[in-house]
């Protein structure tokens, strides 16, 4: 599936959120974007996934793994521990929700 095909269906709010997230991670280094029917996976060149965007009814869920837990109002679910990493979810209702704090966590996830 291409990005154009992915964005041809679904809510309009998804594209500006993706564009903001994508611009940020591209500024960090190479990123592979994999659009699927369930959402968009963001991967390193070696194929290792470091984040994903999944559309929900009223927001886009951005999930990422860190080596630590984050306790913050923007973390929408209790972090889940798995293999030494903690998986976090932030709900983005608009591109404005992808603020400096969230960008910092995504940078940390990208750098691993």
Question: DSSP per residue over 5-72, as a string?
Answer: HHHTSS-TTHHHHHHHHHHHHHHHS--EEEEETTEEEEE-TTS-EEEEEEE-SSSEEEEEEESS----
Strand partners, 32: 43
Q: What is the model's pLDDT at position 77?
A: 84
Number of structural domains found in the chain: 1
Confidence of residue 22 (pLDDT cuts 50, 70, 90): very high
Please provide the average confidence, as pLDDT, over all residues in the chain. 94
Question: What residue has token string 């929700």?
Answer: 97
pTM of the model: 0.92
CATH of the domain at 59: 3.30.1460
- For residue 17, name the pLDDT band (cuts at 50, 70, 90): very high
Using one digit for the tens of pLDDT, what is the confidence trace for 61-102? 999 999 999 988 888 888 989 999 999 999 999 999 999 999
Range of the domain at 32: 3-111
**pLDDT band at residue 12, thresholds of 50, 70 and 90?**
confident
């Amino acid at each position: 599936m291409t990005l154009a095909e992915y964005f041809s269906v679904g809510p309009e709010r998804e594209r500006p959120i993706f564009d903001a997230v994508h611009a940020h991670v591209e500024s960090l280094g190479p990123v592979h974007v994999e659009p699927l029917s369930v959402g968009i996976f963001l991967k390193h060149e070696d194929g290792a996934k470091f984040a994903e965007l999944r559309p929900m009814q009223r927001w886009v869920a951005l999930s990422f793994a860190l080596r630590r837990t984050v306790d913050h109002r923007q973390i929408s679910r209790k972090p889940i521990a798995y293999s030494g990493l903690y998986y976090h979810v932030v709900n983005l209702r608009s591109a404005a929700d992808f603020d400096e704090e969230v960008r910092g966590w995504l940078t940390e996830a990208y750098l691993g």
